[in-house]
Structure 1
Amino acid sequence: MKNKQILLFLFLLLCGASFAQNKEALSSAKVINTTNAKAHLSFLASDALRGREAGTADGDKAAQYIADYYKKIGVKGAVDGDYLQRVNATRIHLSQSLQVMGSPYQPVIDFFNMPSSISLPGFQLQTDSILFAGYGVIDDGIQSYNDFQEQSVTGKVVMLIGSGPRDGAFNFQDKVKYLAFHKAKALLMIEPVVDHKSDGLMQHLFNEQMLLEGSAELSSIEKMSQNMPIIYIGQQVADALLKSANTDLATVRKKLVESNKPYPFVFKTDLKASASRTFEAVHPANVLGWIPGSDPILKDEVVLLSAHYDHLGINPYSVGDSINNGADDNGSGTTGVLMMADAFMQAVKAGKGPKRSILLMAATGEEKGLLGSSWYISHPVVPLNKIISNLNVDMIGRTDTLPHPDHNYIYIIGADRLSSDLDAIIKKTNATYTKLELDERFNVRNDPFQLYFRSDHYNFAKQGIPVTFFFSGFHADYHKASDEIGKIDFDILCKRTQLIYYTAWELANRATKPVVDKKVE
């Protein structure tokens, strides 16, 4: 019994020692300071970069700044000695129109077309009748239910309410497949997002779409819809159409809810619509830096630090300031990664470099659907099975409106989804160095924002790589031109970056890598 107690004491002592404050880590972390943070972010979030949109010259300027800085501090290029990993992508531009009873409606303001449902070279749609079929459900998985009843959809323009109480077992794709198989002429989907856009930014985003070269997304939807136009409409267009049937959207919604029964009907109207799409090849870049490990064995294992540097560019629909500077989203995270790169290089120059290698990824196209990290997964410059963990930084420069004791907090998301080790390492590191409030309210399966799936770390999590998403929360300037550098809290930005750096230091230098002991979600 005594021997067991001694062994337990030694084990706890060793565990505590591995997390004692490391003087080399503390010394190298001195470059993570407000002076350096302001220098980086003053450029990245400046009007000169015009919002750093992926696939533009402005986005390329940001990429080159990051590459030049890596070169300046001695970080190696990870792409055959270079820093830029070019991504092959296609930008889709739309031209679209819609009229009801001769009255024109505004693209994206009142309606928008699903880009991938527009057959080439485009479509011209005209009809004098429409089939309204409730939610478009034919099997709710609970009881025999059919919103179409005996109504045939062949050759008809079909109008559906976008979502309803029976959608669980019969989703959007099921509806599209059903209508396309039965040769419907077009689908009008009543979609609340058309009526609830916060500002002109959504207009800009819905007018274009960007896809990776070889992406299955476009081709799969094209095959699914079989060139059947899918047009999202808001309440204004829906009411204009239903007026011909002497009703409106609120009335038919109420009838469906109160009766709990299908309510299909055909009504006469006059609808004209057209759309076309053009393609533009674009080649934004991931910026990949490499710090080789110092240990002859452990150097083959890699810690990945990532942050997307792209933002939303210029909003042509904006009144007043049209530049989406993205100081917090994600100039703050990019700034954090640049300072962490500098800190690791300080350790290298002092002869105390990390035992494992560090891969630094400033990702492009996150705002377009995690495109840069998706491209990396398909075109890795460091094999995915060598990456032991990904620490992803997206928005760490502000304080949100949710309750916290003070601004000394950070949301951690996903740390325990694949590895109990990684979660424990972060918490112990925080207790040892930074003592931030580690808020996990978004790290739940029923998170309404589903943040675990919404930034670049998720592409690595899908490969079974333990990840953590560091995030400081939403604020009133999220995805708006008002996300400016003047609103950044540089002190807390640096403190949060220090937590991530010390965590990366521990991952890079500990004897064992985090054990993956949970299944991929």
Structure 2
Amino acid sequence: MIRILIAGALLLSLTGNAQERATLPTTDEQARQLAATITTDDLREHLTILSADEMEGRETGEPGQKRAAAYLASQLQDLGIPPVVNDTGYFQTIKFSRQNWDTVDMRLNGEPLRHLWEFYSSPSKNANRETVTVNEVLFLGYGIDDPAYSDYRGHDVAGKTIIIFAGEPRGRDSNFLLSGSKDPSEYSLDDGRKLQSAYQHGVETVIVIDPAFKQNVQDVRRETLDGQMRMTDRTEAERQEANNVYVTPAVAKEMLGKEYRKVIKARKRIERNGRLRPVAVPTAIQLTQRKNVRELIGENVLGYVRGTDPRLADEVLVVSAHYDHIGRRGDAIFNGADDNGSGSSTVLEVAEAFVEAQKAGMGPRRSVLFLWVSGEEKGLLGSEYYASHPVFPLEYTVADINVDMVGRVDPEHEGNPNYIYVIGSNRLSTELHNINEAVNRDFTQIELDYKYNAKDDPNNFYERSDHYNFAERGIPSVFFFNGTHADYHRDTDTIEKINFDKMARIGQLIFYNAWQLANQDKRIEVDVK
């Protein structure tokens, strides 16, 4: 039997400063008492609110999702879990955007250029604007503005269109001018810095000569065609990048005409002495960049229970669930009781069990982050955002337990609700798999079904819930899932069809896993490559 410990096998001293005393080990019976706080009544209470019509299907960025986030935060506050995000309390704010071109058109000397063949322009990196006419372009080197090297120094470019080379200049010794070595600077790796510099100097449009056009156009092609919601660092109102287009060297040569040689000489002059002599070139360009934009602001909700062991408290276990759903279609409200009101309610109950442990002087040795993410239905965006912008360092994140749909019975288990699909437990850590097997054997005795854990599973559920963004970064992760059913992603996924007894058993299994991971002496190992 796995013995679940709180702070090692030391007995509580009867004398001395209370802060220096070791904590009693937690017995199996004490663990059972904590797990028993996960009840059908509490689960029903939470889910009744989260899946109510007033939540309008909890679609990311919509009022219903905001109300659901507020409810989760209110429950954390009632439990006594303090806010953890500096400016936004319990919320980690995420900006989402879906952008595509309504019209993107570039004409040179009256002739249209082919988008994605002769030029490309990314909707997410440009402001929406009507047709502009360009009678002159100014060659401005590489468009860099840096203390070590600047193409802008001494030149007024406000209101102008500039044409620049991609990348950054090298000197006579073949070293990059900015770094003074063979290593490129960020200007080679991130064109955004050039576009921001151009914006700050009042440039109207940046034309970039891209020698790697065929390779680089693929990302823009995907963005232009897929129309997916994406995370973004800023809203349109916060944009600080000049509008831009990228052209092939052949188009650039045609654009510069007889001045092309002067531009090449100016480029060589930069390489010789690090100084730019701009070249003004008359031209006839028309550029239209009209786009469709939909922006959303979503929130992840965070509840954090600090560990009690000074040696282990910086290590963090994540227990996650997505609380968003797909909203409404006309008068039909997609309540998402199972998907994923069930998982969200379960994580609330597991959080309460950990708080009860704290109150009893048995708080977990490691810290535990209870994480409710939005944007899952948009492509796992909320968990991707957390994994990309972690509040607690990922190198100290020991594992993720993810809960997504745990309140129903799928057709394969009709008549037998005492099961759960377990996905991913052995993909990175055999120890994580063994812990789940052991605590289930010793405490919950649920049928663990690994059907969807198969690497050749045609449903590919392993990559379809929020644990995957942790697993991709090498963090052991396990996903608990009841399978799909006839009401999946339909407006018939409602609370009266939820099996709360099943939810409570799964919640207790999740608690035992979390309790073990938060309290054992060594963090689990990644031993599967």
Q: TM-score, normalised by structure 2?
A: 0.62
- The structure-2 alpha-carbon separation of the partners of 1:92 and 1:46, relative to structure 1 and needing over 3 Å to count, comes to farther
1:59: which partner in 2? 65
C-alpha distance 281-404 of structure 1, shift in aligned 2 (>3 A): closer
Contact 2:123/2:291, CA 8 A, preserved across alignment: no
1:45 matched to 2:59: no
**Counterpart in the other structure of 1:414:** 424
> Do residues 427 (structure 1) and 446 (structure 2) align?
no
Give the Cα–Cα distance (whole angstroms) in 1 for the partners of residues 246 and 411 of structure 2: 42
User: Tell me, what secondary structure is at the counterpart of 2:452?
Assistant: coil
Counterpart CA distance in 2 for 1:54 and 1:290 is 23
Structure 1 SS opposite 2:72? helix
Which of residues 449, 456, 479 is equivalent to 1:446?
456
Look up the match of 2:364.
Answer: 354
1:290 aligns with 2:304: yes
Using the TM superposition, give the Cα deviation of residue 341 of structure 1 relative to its aligned residue in structure 2, in angstroms.
0.6
SS at match of 2:444: coil
Deviation at 1:460, TM superposition (A): 0.4
Match of residue 350, structure 2, among 330, 340, 347 = 340
- Evaluate the alpha carbon distance shift between residue 512 and residue 43 of structure 1 in structure 2; reply closer, same or farther with a 3 A threshold: same
Q: Which residues of 2 match residues 113-512 of structure 1 at below 5 A? A: 209-214=228-233, 277-316=291-330, 322-403=332-413, 406-512=416-522
Amino acid of the residue matched to residue 322 of structure 2?
A: H
Residues 224, 41 of structure 1: CA spacing in aligned structure 2 closer, same or farther, 3 A cutoff? farther
User: Which amino acid letter does the alignment assign opposite residue 279 of structure 1?
Assistant: V
Letter in 2 for 1:297: R
Question: Does the 8 A contact of 1:21 with 1:433 survive in 2?
Answer: no
Q: CA deviation at 1:315?
A: 1.4
CA 1:379–1:407: 2 relative to 1, 3 Å? same
Look up the equivalent residue of 1:444 and give its one-letter code.
Answer: A
Classify 1:407/1:94 alpha carbon distance in 2 versus 1 (closer, same or farther; 3 Å).
Answer: farther
1:84 to 88, 91, 112: 91
Unaligned 5+ segments in structure 1 are 1-14, 97-114, 124-176, 190-205, 216-221, 227-274
Identity, in percent, stands at 42
Q: CA deviation at 1:403?
A: 4.3
Per-residue deviation, 1:24: 2.4
SS of the residue 2:69 aligns to: helix
User: 2: distance between equivalents of 1:223 and 1:292?
Assistant: 49
Task: Quote how far apart the aligned CAs of 1:479 are.
Answer: 0.5
Distance 1:390 1:225, change over 3 A: farther
Q: 1:297 to 1:475 in 2, by over 3 A?
A: same
Q: CA deviation at 1:70?
A: 0.3
Pair 1:70 & 2:84 matched = no
Deviation at 1:122, TM superposition (A): 11
Larger Rg: 2
Contact 2:3 2:28 in 1 (8 A): no
Residue 143 of structure 2 aligns with which residue? none
Counterpart of 1:333, as a letter, is: G
Distance 1:225 1:404 in 2: 59
Partners of 1:94 and 1:310 in 2: CA distance: 28
Q: Which moved more, 1:372-381 or 1:464-473?
A: 372-381
1:193-249 deviation line (CA, Å, top 9, x unaligned): xxxxxxxxxxxxx9x74210059xxxxxx99999xxxxxxxxxxxxxxxxxxxxxxx
Could you tell me which runs of 5 or more consecutive residues in structure 2 were left unpaired when the two chains were aligned: 6-25, 104-121, 131-213, 235-243, 249-288
Asked whether the equivalents of residues 88 and 212 of structure 1 are also in contact (C-alpha less than 8 Å), the reply is: yes
Quote the Cα distance in structure 2 between the aligned partners of 1:121 and 1:428.
57
Deviation of 1:80 (Å): 2.6
Distance 2:98 2:349 in 1: 32
Equivalent position amino acid for 2:514 in 1: A
Tell me if structure 2 keeps the 8 A contact 1:24–1:347: no
Aligned to 2:14: none
CA RMSD, aligned part only?
3.5
Contact 1:89 1:282 in 2 (8 A): yes
The structure-2 alpha-carbon separation of the partners of 1:296 and 1:406, relative to structure 1 and needing over 3 Å to count, comes to same
CA distance 1:24–1:80, change in 2 (3 Å): farther
**In 1, distance between residues paired with 2:354 and 2:345?**
14
CA separation of 1:339/1:95 partners in 2, compared to 1, >3 Å: closer, same or farther? farther
Runs (4+) off by over 4 Å: 18-21, 92-96, 119-123, 222-226
Tell me the distance in 2 between the aligned counterparts of 1:17 and 1:376: 32
SS of equivalent residue, structure 1 residue 41:
helix
The whole-number CA distance in structure 2 between the counterparts of 1:309 and 1:16 is 32
Deviation at 1:91, TM superposition (A): 3.7
Residue 181 of structure 2 aligns with which residue? none
Post-superposition CA distance 1:154-210 (Å, at most 9, x none): xxxxxxxxxxxxxxxxxxxxxxx79x89xx9xxxx9xxxxxxxxxxxxxxxx9x742
For 2:73, the aligned partner's letter is A
